[in-house]
Amino acid sequence: SLESIIKINSTQASIPHILNFSITGMKPETLLHALEEDEIYISTKSACSSHKKESLSVLTLYQDEQRASSTLRISLSYQTTQEEVLFFISKLHEKIQRLQIK
């Protein structure tokens, strides 16, 4: 199930409009490009780690290099609709399943 491979890295102290998460066993760039096929654009790592191999903030929080090297970041705004969120969740699920099969 997706719940077992998706790890939420954002905490209660995180910026509320940014969600950082990791997907176990999947390169973040692979998923990022798969989502771009549906015009969904997200980022890898945390903003402060954009030039490093892994997210230093996630590594510091969880002491897990695999988790820190597989982070993705979603930015939301007050203009983000519920329909867009549901579309994203649907496509994320679809892409993860497709990429895990390969």
Contact 10, 71 (CB under 8 A): no
Query: Cα–Cα distance between 33 and 41 in angstroms, integer?
Result: 8
- Please say if 48 is a catalytic residue: yes
Query: Cα–Cα distance between 26 and 23 in angstroms, integer?
Result: 6
Give me the catalytic one of 8, 48, 76, 86: 48
Q: Please give the positions annotated as active site.
A: 48
